Structure 1
Amino acid sequence: MVKRVAIAGLGRAARAIHLPALRKLPNLECVGGFDLQRPEEGFGFPLFDSVEALLAQTRPDMLFIVTPPDSHFALTKLGLEAGCHVFCEKPLAERIEDAEALAELARAAGRHVVVNSEFPWMPIHSAAKRRMAEPGFGKLQFITLQQTFIVTPETEEGWRGLDPQRTFKEFGTHVLDLAQYFFDAAPISIRARMPRPAGPSAPDHLNIVELEFSGERMALILLDRLSPGRHRYLDIRLDGTEAIIETSIGGRLQAAAGLNTRTRKPFVDVEVAMGGTARLFREERMERLATAPIDLFPDATARLLTDVLAAIERGETPPCALEHSTRTLRLLAAAYESAADGGSPRAFAP
C-alpha cells in the first residue's frame, strides 16, 4: 500500500497542484522534498540536498517528480531503483528510447510509473464522457480542442521559455490524451503545421494538429499563443450525431438575455462556473452537465491519484501508466516530425 510519498521539485507546479492535491488525500504523507533551488523551509516536511539522500533517508512508497522534462528520465530511474512507484509530470521523457528503458526498469522493479495526465479527471470532462454514453447524444464524430493563451514573462520563466518545442511539448500531452479519452481509441494518423512567424528558432506558439481516428472520425487541435487576446485556457466541442457537448476551462460569471429568433420567446441565461463548465446543446435546448471547482487542477490530480492508488492496491495497472504515456510521447514526436516535413501526415499504429 502506498502511504509515504517524497517529492522532487518544489517550484510552481508543485506548490499550485501537487502539494494541494496531496492535502486532499489524508491517507498519504509527504515525508520529504528536494529542489535544486534550495527553497526556504516552511513546507511542513524536511528538505534534502539530493534526491539520493531524499530516497535513502525517507524510504518513500512513491516518488513525485515535478521538475523540468530533461530530468524526468534520470529521476524516474532513481525512484524505480529505490523501490518506489513514480508519479511524474508530463511529458514522461524527452525521447522514446528513454520511455522504453523506463518500461524495462519498471517491470524489473515490479513498480509503476504514472504520468499526471489529470485532464480526464476534471468533473467537466468526466461528466461529458458519461453523458455521451446516454441517450440523446448519439455517436461522437468530431472533436475540436482550442486554446488561446496569453504569453507573459511569468509563463515563460525557466525551461519553458527556452524550449523551441514550447507549446505542443508542454500542453500537447493534455489535448492528445483528451482526444483519445473521448474517442476511446488511439488515432491512426496525425498531421501538424506549426508556423513560426518570429523565426525558425522561435517557440512553436501556433500548433494546428489533425488526428484521424478509425471510422472517419477526426479531431482538430488549435493551440494559439501568437498574440494577446481573450484568454481561453481550453475549449472543447464534441460533435455527436444527435447533439453537441461544449466544455470550457476557466472561471466565469456570465449572464445573457434576449429573444429566441425561432420561438419568439424571451430568455435569460445566468452561468456561474468557478473553474469550468460542461453543457449539452440540442437545437435550441441546453442541458447543464457539470461545473468544475476553482482548484480544478489539484482537484483533478487528487482524483487521478485516488484511482492510481486503488489500482495499485488491487494489483492492477493504474491509469496513465507507461504504455499510455509512451503512446502519447510517440504522438508528440510524430506531430513535430509532420510539422518539420511541411505538414505531411504520419501514420500511427495504436
Structure 2
Amino acid sequence: MNGAIIGYGTIAAGHVIGYRQTEGIDVTAVVDPTPARAQAARSTGLRAYATYEEMVDNENPDFIDICTPPNSHACYIELGLRDGLHVLCEKPVLMPYEGRYDRLLGQIAASNKVFYPCHNYKFAPILATMQQVVRSPGFGDVLSARFRTLRQGHAVGVADWNPHWRRDPLIAGGGILRDHGPHSVYLATHLTGRTPLAVSCLSGAMRHDGHTGTEDTAMLMIRCDDDVQIELDVTWSAGYRNSYYSITGTGGTVAVENDDVRYSLDGRLHRTTLPSNFDDPQHSDWFAAMFTDFLTKTRHPEQAAPLLADSLTTSLVIDGAYASAADNGRWVELTPAQDLLIGAAR
C-alpha cells in the first residue's frame, strides 16, 4: 500500500521514517507548496508536488497522510474521501466548522474508506507498559488520573514556512489546548477507559513571549462516567521539560515521569526505567507501530469505527474547555460523541 504525505514538516519527516520501518506500507509522494520543503522531500527519495491536484494527476495513492497545520485539515480530509482514499490525519484531527462537525462527519460516514487519527502517544512503549498495569486484575477500577505536560515553549516549525504557526489562532485554531491538549485527552480516555461528561478549564498566557493571541497554559478538570475525575495540565511556560502521567485504581497506582515507571500492585512496589522518547519530536518508532495498526484497520475496517468516536470526543472536550475558560472555568456539559455520529450517519 502506497500513500502521499500532505505537508512536509518535522512531523512528516518522522512519519516517513516510520513508514520505511513498516512492512507492507510506504509513502512515495509529498504535497508541499514551499520549494525548500519540496526539495527536502526529494532528497529522501520522495516525489514532490506543489498542490494536491497535481499529486493526484500524477500519482495513484491508496491513502493520504495529512501533516499540515490544523486550519487545512478539513479541506484535505474532504479531498481524500472524495477521491476514494484512506485518510490519516495528525492532531487536532477534527476541527469544528462554524462550531459544528456534521458536514465532515457525514462525509466520513458516507465513505467506505478508513479515517484514521494519528494518535501516536498510544503507541509509546512506556505508555503501553502503563496500560498493561492499569489492565492488570489487581489494579481494580480506575478512580482518577492526573497528567502534566511541561514545555519551555511551543514547538517551532520549519524555517522555510511559518515557524510560529502554533501561536497564530487563524492557523492553529487556538494555543496549547489545540496542540498538546488532544494528546492529553485521547491518552487519558484511552488509558482509563472512561467517557468524559463535563469539563472545567482555566487558561492564560504566562510566558510573556510576545505571542499573546493564544493561550500557553491550561488546567482542565474532566468529569467522567463512574465518578472518575481526570486532571490535565499543559503549559509552554515552564522552566524545564517534564512529562508526567499517573492513574489511581482501587487496588493499585501507576505513574510515568519521563523515563521512569513506578507502580504498586498487590501491595508491592515496582520501579523500572524505559526510554520514553517524549522529547523526540519525530517519534519514528511510535509511528511505525501506529502505521502497522493503520494497515490492520484497512484490512479490517470494522475495527476503525471506535477511532472516529475517539477523535470526536477529543475535539468536543477541547471545545468545551475553551467555552469553560471563556467563562471563568464554569463546568460545561459535553455532547456525547455517539449522538453526533448517529446523526451524521442518517
TM-score (norm 2): 0.84
The alpha carbon displacement at 1:282 in A equals 5.9
Equivalent residue number for residue 102 of structure 1: 104
- In 1: Cα distance, 2:155 partner to 2:240 partner: 17
Equivalent residue number for residue 112 of structure 1: 114
After the TM superposition, which residues 256-335 of structure 1 pair with which residues of structure 2 at under 5 Å, given as runs?
Answer: 276-281=259-264, 285-288=268-271, 291-292=274-275, 294=277, 297-318=283-304, 321-335=307-321
Q: Residue 153 and residue 182 in structure 1: after superposition, are their counterparts in 2 closer, same or farther (change >3 A)?
A: closer
Q: Residue 27 and residue 293 in structure 1: after superposition, are their counterparts in 2 closer, same or farther (change >3 A)?
A: farther
Letter in 1 for 2:274: T
Q: Does 1:82 align with 2:83?
A: yes
Q: Does 1:161 align with 2:161?
A: no
- In 1: Cα distance, 2:111 partner to 2:154 partner: 42
- Identify the range of structure 1 (190-199 vs 23-32) with the bigger mean alpha-carbon deviation: 190-199
After the TM superposition, which residues 1-350 of structure 1 pair with which residues of structure 2 at under 5 Å, given as runs?
Answer: 3-15=1-13, 17-38=14-35, 39=37, 40=39, 41-95=42-96, 99-151=101-153, 154=156, 157-163=163-169, 165-197=174-206, 198=208, 201-227=212-238, 229-232=239-242, 234-249=243-258, 276-281=259-264, 285-288=268-271, 291-292=274-275, 294=277, 297-318=283-304, 321-350=307-336
- Helix, strand or coil for the counterpart of 1:190? strand
Letter in 2 for 1:116: C
* Identity across the alignment (%): 21
Letter in 1 for 2:106: E
Letter in 1 for 2:10: R
The alpha carbon displacement at 1:293 in A equals 5.8
The alpha carbon displacement at 1:242 in A equals 2.7
Q: Residue 173 and residue 320 in structure 1: after superposition, are their counterparts in 2 closer, same or farther (change >3 A)?
A: farther
The alpha carbon displacement at 1:152 in A equals 6.3
Q: Residue 128 and residue 24 in structure 1: after superposition, are their counterparts in 2 closer, same or farther (change >3 A)?
A: same
> Which 5+ residue runs of structure 1 have no aligned equivalent?
250-275
Contact 1:10/1:34, CA 8 A, preserved across alignment? yes
The answer to which structure has the higher helix fraction is 2
- Helix, strand or coil for the counterpart of 1:47? strand
Count of residues paired in the alignment: 319
RMSD of the TM alignment (CA)? 2.5
The alpha carbon displacement at 1:320 in A equals 6.6
Q: Residue 154 and residue 68 in structure 1: after superposition, are their counterparts in 2 closer, same or farther (change >3 A)?
A: closer
Letter in 1 for 2:68: T
Contact 2:245/2:255, CA 8 A, preserved across alignment? yes
Contact 1:280/1:289, CA 8 A, preserved across alignment? no
> Which 5+ residue runs of structure 2 have no aligned equivalent?
337-346
- In 2: Cα distance, 1:344 partner to 1:131 partner: 34
Contact 2:167/2:213, CA 8 A, preserved across alignment? no
The alpha carbon displacement at 1:183 in A equals 2.0
Letter in 1 for 2:201: A
- In 2: Cα distance, 1:223 partner to 1:153 partner: 13
Contact 2:221/2:232, CA 8 A, preserved across alignment? yes
